[in-house]
A and B are shown apart, each in its own frame.
Chain A
Amino acid sequence: MADRVADSGFRCGALIALLALLAAVLTVVAAHPYLPGPPWTAGTWRWLLEGGGDVRRLILTDSLLPRLCAGLLCGGALGLAGVLFQQALRNPLAEPSTLGVAGGAQLALMATATLLPGFGGNLGTLGHGLVALGGGVGAAALVVGLAWRAALAPAVVILAGLAVGLTCSALASGLMLFNGAGFQALFLWASGSLSQNGWAIPQALAPQLAAGAVLALLLARPLALLDLGTEGAAGLGVPVRALRLATLALAVALSAAVVSAAGVIGFVGLAAPAMVRLAGARSLLARLTWAPPLGAALLWLADATTQVASQIAGSGARELPTGTLTALLGAPLLLWLLTRSGGGDGGPPVPAEPPARRLARSGPWLLAGLLALLLAAWLALAVGQGVGGWRWSGWADLQPLLYWRAPRMAAAMAAGAMLGAAGVLLQRLTGNPLAGPEVLGIGTGAAFGVILLYLAVPAFPVEAQVAAAGAGALATLCAVLLLGRRQGHAPERLLLTGVALTTVFGAVVALLLSSGDPRAFTLFRWLTGSTYLATPAIAIAAWTAALPLLAVPLLCARWLEILPLGEEAARGLGLRLPLVRGIVLLLVAALTTAATLVVGPLSFVGLMAPHAARLCGLQRAVPQLAGAALAGALVMVLADWLGRVLLFPAQMPAGLLATLLGAPYLLWLLRR
């Protein structure tokens, strides 16, 4: 036992040392042009300490050095926050964005920028930071308030966090679409830049991180008892709710500090704890010890890399935002660790499902859903706005409008149904309520394909876009299947793999969006889930794919009942797990790909619809599948219609509206 602990400590230390060494070399390379001589000579240091108003010295002391410190502090804070989130919520996928901190901060910044035009340059970095801090903490407080009655049970906190975070990001994206060209600075912030021009940020971060570390150590002992489960910990006299609240508050404070200082630097908070765990640090204390320095080293390496890269690329290339680089570096590292380390657990156990209502009779619910869907479809076709304002079109008036309205409504319906079903399959397969089809990375893979098309070809028809998205999705699917094969598609690994892939692609997307290139906004529209360009051919294709793909899962009903019971039970009941998981995964992938081709990658219907169905009491596999498909279709049709008419003549992407509809509904269900 002692050997194992020492061994894991050695491995973590070695990993950190390796990353830090690389980072140090790159930092020297990056600082080299600003130094009068080699960094190891006394003359250089004397110049640095005493030199006058030289611009090079200014850059070293007021830009590069504070940047280095800010990177280390942010990385450490994110690593620490990640461990705390994952322990308090007992979910290896929990990270600083889980509680909506980033989404809240982004929304606050967007709203301020809209209400106070000219804000981008006029409000100082500090003002920027305060607004972001307020937004982030506000969102997290809302989450905690919503989950309070459930004693801050992890599943409820996570769902509430997702819903709040998604709502915030959707609202922020909506604002962004309206004022697109004016928001480049905020895109830049959202992609995480550590660029500094003074010591204000590191000076503010250092005491925050130090206080956070002390508090985390104080919380460590009772927190470790949470591994025993809520009842187990409570039985030992741990005040579970108060402990969770304190831990979450600390973690939120840490991540909000980072968000307000450097913008959204994703992935470090997820990757650092996951990496130390994969390197063998199992106990909470070990993870608390190793994750912050690993996070710091990771972020330092990423930041140094981006600086060197921009130096090599010369003055024409922009500097990659550091947040982009962490993803590009961290994700492959995580993937590598995932394939290397043998079996064992991928992290703390995932939480039990949130409390659902007692089993309901499924017939009436499904019938009601179907009726609501038909009603929504009719609404979407007949009601709209024109030059003269709102109007309701009869059959004859409708004829010239059908070409615009029917295909997008039909495509949205098919996509919503497919995403809902895919969500049920995936959540049953992994037993993780956080798993949505988006998490698999297929959607972002599709987005990546489209981005490559945008970069390669200046002009193309919408069919080429669909083909590119399909190719991207297929490539990602192959990657997920290949990477997961060795572990027999173990759910935990699967999700981490998907998250890693999503992060890599997401980083490239963010990079493109912050470039200020006008084409990026066309892309942004699609990325936020748009049915805007659905043609009749696309709608027909969507339904051709949807009908068989929705029918096949019904044949796997028995598997789907058994899979959530866990690996042991599934084996005991005679399931050939790798095969069963492979097939279900393939179905999920097919459904997600087809849906993504139609509405783009970012609609969280696949995450929300299964929860909605289950919270209505549709607990068994087949009713849940049908209910989620109906709910998904209903939400997408309504979202598409609202997106079309609400802010006429402007049109909001359906995916965005679906989030705005679905997330509060989920919150409402949670409250009951």
Chain B
Amino acid sequence: MGTMVRGTLPLSRRRLLGGAVALGFGGGPGTGPALAETRAEMGAKKRAEAPRRVAVLDWGLAASCVALGCVPVGVPAPSWCTRYVGDPALPAGVTDVGLLFTPNFELLQELKPDAILITPGLEVMRGPLERVAPVFAVALDRPGAGVLERAGSETRRLAAFLGLEAAAEALAARAEATLEQAAHELAPLTDRSVCLVNILDQRHVNVFGASSLHHAVLNRLGLRNAWGGEPVMGEFVAVGLERLAAVPDARLINVALGGFGRLKAMAANPFWQALPFSREGRTHEIGSVLGSAGLPAVERLARLLSAALVPVEASHG
């Protein structure tokens, strides 16, 4: 089993590799020169050396890598990644390795990465990926209890794998500072709850629920999420506009996942205009913040929230 040769890494990886071997991958027909070649190359590397050329198969994870100072060699659909992540932006020149959830194995093999980073959602393709390079899973895409703590711990785990522990500490400190400052700035605005939505069309919105990273950040900033429910699946629920009447007193903030302008488009919708938060001018729009982007997303959301809401406080005097 070729994969065992690379068992030079932390315990968690060895365990994961063991799992892949137990599933019968790695052997079988086709264990050809490709694998031998990769193996030889890997052997030639110094064992302790941290991976430098990483392919990252998730957008949030890619953003975390960039924030840590490690530019991926390959990311699926980089233009969409930039659109959803916002900041930190993916530098130009990152190879497009296919669609999200359908990375191109042949192309990955050609890129010869030192390691491939995945989220647990991609475990289903761990077998084939292990043929290309060692695979490391980071659980940044799991909303639910403790999502904020997980953003910190998983970013640190990722940094340890990349050998960039110092960058992780700096990132964590920066996020902490941003949270502190935003919490301070937003303190006068804790009178009203905040409803974070993503406007889908003229009849539906996604509402960020209690399992989302966004909810956790709101709490951390001393703000209350107006939408108390915990989504059955994922981080938000899709609801009809009429359900927003349940949060009449909230400030409504549209998180522009993938593009601005939807809030403005609602100006032509009489029903939307008649809803209390809209009638009383308590609607705002902020840039895209991806819930799976770990610490960079935490910092970005805190910054954007404070930038959007602080002028409100100023105008109220």
Contact = CB atoms under 8 A, between A and B. Distances in A.
B262 A118 contact: yes
Contacts of B28: 535-537
Interface string A379-417: 000001011000000000001111111110000000000
Interface in B221-254: 227-234, 236-243, 245-246, 248
Given A181-B84, A514-B238, A649-B98, A537 B24 contact: yes
Contact of B265 (A121, A188, A318, A521): A121
A297 B288 CA distance: 42
Contact of B32 (A179, A189, A384, A400): A400
Given A121-B202, A125-B203, A522 B32 contact: no
| A62, A195, A405 pick with most chain B CB within 10 angstroms | A195
Interface stretch (B117-125, B159-167, B181-189): B117-125
Interface residues of B, number: 88
Given A197-B242, A458-B120, A188 B202 contact: no
Interface in B10-55: 23-25, 28-34, 37
Contact of B239 (A185, A319, A405): A319
Given A193-B204, A195-B204, 20 more contacts: A56-B245, A63-B242, A121-B201, A124-B265, A180-B101, A184-B200, A184-B206, A316-B231, A318-B231, A319-B240, A387-B95, A403-B131, A407-B30, A458-B120, A516-B234, A516-B236, A518-B141, A518-B292, A519-B121, A648-B104
A300 B14 CA distance: 56
A49 interface: no
A13 B227 CA distance: 44
A95 to B, nearest CB: 25
A460 B236 CA distance: 24
B206 A193 contact: no
Interface in A302-329: 314-319
How many chain A residues sit at the interface, stated as a range, is 35 or more
B24 A122 contact: no
Contact of A189 (B120, B126, B201): B201
A532 interface: yes
Interface in B273-287: 274-276
Nearest to B60: A518
Given A184-B206, A458-B142, A649 B107 contact: yes
A188 B261 contact: no
Interface of A: 53, 55-56, 58-59, 62-64, 117-118, 120-125, 128, 177-182, 184-185, 188-189, 193, 195-198, 314-319, 384, 386-387, 399-407, 455, 458-463, 465, 512, 514-519, 521-522, 525, 530, 532-533, 535-537, 648-651
B200 A55 contact: no
Contacts of B228: 315
B106 A315 contact: no
A448 B248 CA distance: 39
B271 A62 contact: yes
Contacts of B25: 535
Nearest to B202: A125
B109 interface: yes
Given A121-B262, A386-B106, A403 B240 contact: no
Interface string B98-133: 111110111101110000000011111111100100
